[in-house]
Amino acid sequence: MSGDRPGLQALTVGASARIAHVFTAAQIDDWWQLAGTAGARAPAHNSVPEPLIAGLFSCLLGERLPGHGTNYLKQRMVFERPAPAGTALTASVTITHIRHDKALVDLDTVCHDAAGRIVCRGRALVRFDR
Amino acid sequence: MPAENSITTMTARRTLSQADLDVYAQLSGDHNPIHVDPAFAAHTRFGATVAHGMLLFSLVRAQLEQHYPGAAMHSQHLTFPAPAYTQQSLEISLVIQGAAAADELAIRTRITRPDGQRCLEGDCVLHLAPSPQ
């Protein structure tokens, strides 16, 4: 019904994409200002907020693997340790399962700090109907 | 409002602007035109720009901080059933589920559009004791 879905056909289990990124203290302040409702105060601690770490996965899924046309359905995350501002983070996504009949793709998602320790691990589910 | 609701559910409202989506795009590096290009988005099945899923998660995270200052997030499960548009009053809800462990609290997290559709649905576990660091 959805044609051959050449984009989906081109995906393979084990395919991976990664991105390295540093969030500065100033960016974290900007994030609290954006996310907070009126009257809310940003906390004193300045570890990288979880949604910015999650955003690295989102970027990879939407821009790289599977890429444009990705419909983000689910994301599960466990946060193992805080990442201070200025830390070099490396996020990666790896395809673990493809359901061709439903155009669904499962991926492992993990983010490491500069020392190689896991900051966040989890799984994503996306639809890639292309 | 029923009394039990006021004990277990906390709500806030937020209306996102295109400028908010643009700021989030800058911070996250996610410049997908479906979020930042109204002319492009008008010709997609959404009909207008939609909020990044993790911008919605950001709104939830800030509410958690407001109600549980300093709490560390242990885990979060997210689904994005319906798109969230700009200039809509979104309701952010935290529904307390109970203690997941001695110092942990399980909370259902939701963002709902004015038409009742859910833009974000999830569950999180917070560590109420500040994490040592």
**How confident is the model over B102-123, as pLDDT tens digits?**
899 999 999 999 999 999 999 9
All residues of chain B having their beta carbon less than 8 Å from the beta carbon of residue A68 are 32
The ipTM (two decimal places) reads 0.93
**How confident is the model over A39-93, as pLDDT tens digits?**
555 666 679 999 999 999 999 999 999 998 899 999 999 999 999 999 999 999 9
The dihedral built from the CA positions of residue B66, A84, A119 and A63, taken in this order, carries a sign that is positive
Q: Share the mean pLDDT of chain A.
A: 92
CB B126 within 8 A of CB B73: yes
**Hey, are the CB atoms on B79 and A49 less than 8 Å from each other?**
no
Full set of structural domains in chain A with CATH: 6-127 (3.10.129.10)
Neighbours of B126 (CB within 10 A): 22
CB B76 within 8 A of CB B85: no
**Residue B4 Cα, gap to closest chain A Cα (Å):** 25
**How confident is the model over B48-63, as pLDDT tens digits?**
999 999 999 999 999 9
**A126: DSSP letter:** E
Domains of chain B: which residue ranges?
A: 3-127
CATH of domain B3-127: 3.10.129.10
CB A58 within 8 A of CB A124: no
Which residue reads 């409002």 in tokens?
B1
